[in-house]
Amino acid sequence: MNLRNVGFGNQACAALAAAVNGNAHLAHLSLEDNNISDEGVNALANLVAQLDELNLNSNRVGDNGLVGFLSGFGTQTKSTPVLKKLYLRDNRITDKGALVLESGLRTCYSLFKVEIESNLISKSIRHRINILCSRHLAQTFITLPPLYTSNPFTDRVK
């Protein structure tokens, strides 16, 4: 669902979250450039378990909003879809919020793309977050499903 630059605010985020909560058909949500702040992002935390991709670029998301949003990861189960891509470019996130994100990425393996450029985050923390996301992406492609515990092509070579 693309709701880019439609004049959304914090109250609209709360209404949207209530309306789409549990809608299995909503996988992608773009709320880019909507003047959304911490309050609005916190309202979206319960959508973490059902979205594949969330775009919050060019809003007013700060550390408190990011931390509140990340609390939604605690509601995930193995049977629910999991957020894979999170876009947070051009917001108000500082090293404080980015460190919470980095810490969470060490145990949450679903996120393999996080864009945090054009925030108030130091280069070293951005770099570490990018490395963690790269590892998650690599694990996604390397891990074989349980059905394929052997490789018929390499097992013949002995």
- Residue 127's domain comprises 10-148
pLDDT digits (tens, 9 = 90+) for 23-74: 768 889 999 999 999 999 999 998 887 889 999 999 999 999 999 998 887 6
CA distance linking residue 139 with residue 62, whole number of Å: 30
pLDDT at 109: 76
Number of domains comprising the chain:
1
119 in a domain, yes or no?
Answer: yes
Residue 124 in any domain: the answer is: yes
Class of residue 39 by CB neighbours under 10 A (exposed 0-12, middle 13-18, buried 19+): middle
Q: Which residues make beta-bridge pairs with 86? A: 54, 114
Residue 103, in any domain of the structure: yes
**Residues 99-113: pLDDT tens digits?**
999 998 887 778 889
Q: pLDDT of 86-98, one tens digit each?
A: 999 999 999 999 9
**Domain containing residue 53: CATH number:** 3.80.10.10
